[in-house]
Amino acid sequence: MADFQRDQAEGLRRLLDREHLRVTTVTSGSHGVGKTSVVINVAAEFAARGHRVLVIDENYGPANVSGLLGVRSRFDFNHVMRRACTLEDALIEGPPGVSILPAANSARAWPSLPPPEQERLIESFGRLDGRFDLALIDTPAGNAGMPGLFSRAVQDTIVVSSATSDAITSSYALIKRMHAHQSGRRFYMLLNRVASESNAQVVADNLTQAAQGYLAAPLEYLGSVPRDDSLPQAARGFQAVVEACPAAPSARGFKRIADSMADWPRNGQRRDGFVNLMQRLLAGSRFIFANAGV
């Protein structure tokens, strides 16, 4: 048993120890703030800069990443877990340079898998090694916005909010819950659909001070994206606004967000997120084996 677990851990290290892979969770405390639109546009912007992007879509319903882009797959990660398809079969092509892995409900299905099946899935991800530079994980919003299977151990977390008081209150509550769940997370605030950058800066300053003063949670302001008509127009055409209207104010906002993300320090980001996640999954495997009397 111990040898099997060591083999799993070694396979994870080989899988996840890529020189340039960066993994970031994108979440929100409430619905209607444009979180999934942020994921789509940031992914498309990084892809336009020559990065290879994987979007892991843990979101539910027709307004998830696939739905907003008008793409559909016969399979998702749950099919991969049931051996109904390969991991490659479950990947969907989005904007140029962006691949999507539908992964809703994966957190519920994973614990029922015996360790050999978890090992098989880890090896499947190993075959993606070298293909992606950036992974963005879109989580469910609101009360369901706690981390899912992939995002629960990722340290870098972008919290998307509007500048309304209700959205800010919900964002603060989400940061509080997630910080209690994993104190090592690094939080970044992104204000979306704002009327002005000056107003967004005031809101961000207040929330940053509250998070650090009352929660001791590190929170940095990533930037804002202004509201404009180009974004919904692009969405109606199942496109990212950075592709459809690159000169629009919202597109320029997403480009600034990508600039800020590109300046993040790399130390600890690559391994701390996914390795921590997989260690949690391995711990779940040990629990299953122990209860089975193995």
Is the pLDDT reported for residue 131 higher than 60?
yes
Is the pLDDT reported for residue 270 higher than 70?
no
Q: DSSP character for 214?
A: I
Domain 2-288 in CATH: superfamily?
Answer: P-loop containing nucleotide triphosphate hydrolases (3.40.50.300)
Instruction: Tell me the pTM.
Output: 0.84
- Domain locations along the chain: 2-288
pLDDT for 107-126, tens place per residue? 777 778 888 887 787 777 77
The pLDDT score that the predictor gives to residue 231 is 95
Is the pLDDT reported for residue 26 higher than 90?
yes
Do residues 141 and 30 touch, judged by C-beta distance below 8 A? yes
Q: Which residue has the higher pLDDT, 71 or 12?
A: 71
Q: How many Cα atoms within 13 Å fall on the side-chain side of residue 224?
A: 19
How far apart, in whole angstroms, are the C-alpha atoms of residue 256 and residue 250? 10
pLDDT for 217-243, tens place per residue? 889 999 999 999 999 999 999 999 999
| Amino acid identity at 245 | C
Query: What is the average per-residue pLDDT within 22-29?
Result: 90
| Amino acid identity at 144 | A
